Amino acid sequence: MEHNRINKIPIGIFSRATGLTKLNLKENELLSLPLDMGSWISITELNLSTNQLKVLPEDIEKLVNLEILVLSNNQLKKMPAQIGNLKKLRELDLEENDLETVPSEIVGENSLSSIPEEIGHLDNLKSLYLNDNPSLHNLPFELALCSSLEIMSIENCPLSQIPPEITAGGPSLVIQVCLNI
């Protein structure tokens, strides 16, 4: 169903397709997702890239089998915290959105060993919570390019140092650090 001009998904159309595991709706004109999206429980791969989505429904957490979620090239400003409840999710593509915050439920309390340098392209990112990632030893200096970043929380991460480019953000940037010494 990719590369069409679909702007609305009728309620009930995919909830009846109990064997549907992969759904590709990229390159359409979707403005929103149906209220019954939470009933798509068999979906393992969902591609919604290159649409016009501004929000995701909170009941996305009901997609308990979801492993791959592609949301690139939309107009998302924030992600619902409930996305952190997707325990099988192994790939999340949020590239080219208008994200202002990344919920701690996504990146906190994980085993992140690195942050991609492309994070510097998130011009609207205001908050970043990286708490409790025991394998995160370094931060990319590209974080300094996140010009709207106001809060970065890195509690309980064994960082060897915080790049000076990041701390030069001045008083507008609050870095929450709790060192385990």
181: pLDDT strictly greater than 50: no
Residue 116 confidence (pLDDT): 81
Among 42-56, 101-115, 152-166, name the one with the lowest average pLDDT. Answer: 101-115
C-beta of residue 24 within 8 angstroms of C-beta of residue 1: yes
Phi–psi pair at 93, nearest 5 degrees: -110, 115
Whether 176 shows a pLDDT value over 60: the answer reads: yes
Neighbour-count burial for 117-137, b at 16+ CB within 10 Å, e otherwise = eebbebeebbbbbbbbbeebe
What value does the mean pLDDT take over residues 27-48?
94
Return the pLDDT at 180. 47
Task: Output the CA angle 117-119-124, nearest 5 degrees.
Answer: 155
Predicted pLDDT of residue 151: 83
Domains of the chain, CATH where assigned = 1-98 (3.80.10.10), 99-181 (3.80.10.10)
- pLDDT tens per residue across span 99-127: 887 777 777 777 778 888 888 877 778 88
Mean pLDDT of all residues in the chain?
Answer: 85
Of 85, 125, 130, 88, residue with least CA distance to 111: 130
When computed from its CA atoms, the radius of gyration of the chain, rounded to whole angstroms, is 18
pLDDT of res. 111: 74
* Residue 171 pLDDT greater than 60, yes or no: no
For 129-146, what is each residue's pLDDT tens digit? Answer: 888 888 889 898 888 888
The better pLDDT of the pair 114, 180 is held by 114
What is the arithmetic mean of pLDDT over 18-23? 93
pLDDT above 50 (res 57): yes
Does residue 58 register a pLDDT over 90?
no
Alpha-carbon gap, residue 95 to 122, rounded angstroms: 9
> pLDDT tens digit string along 89-102?
888 888 888 888 77
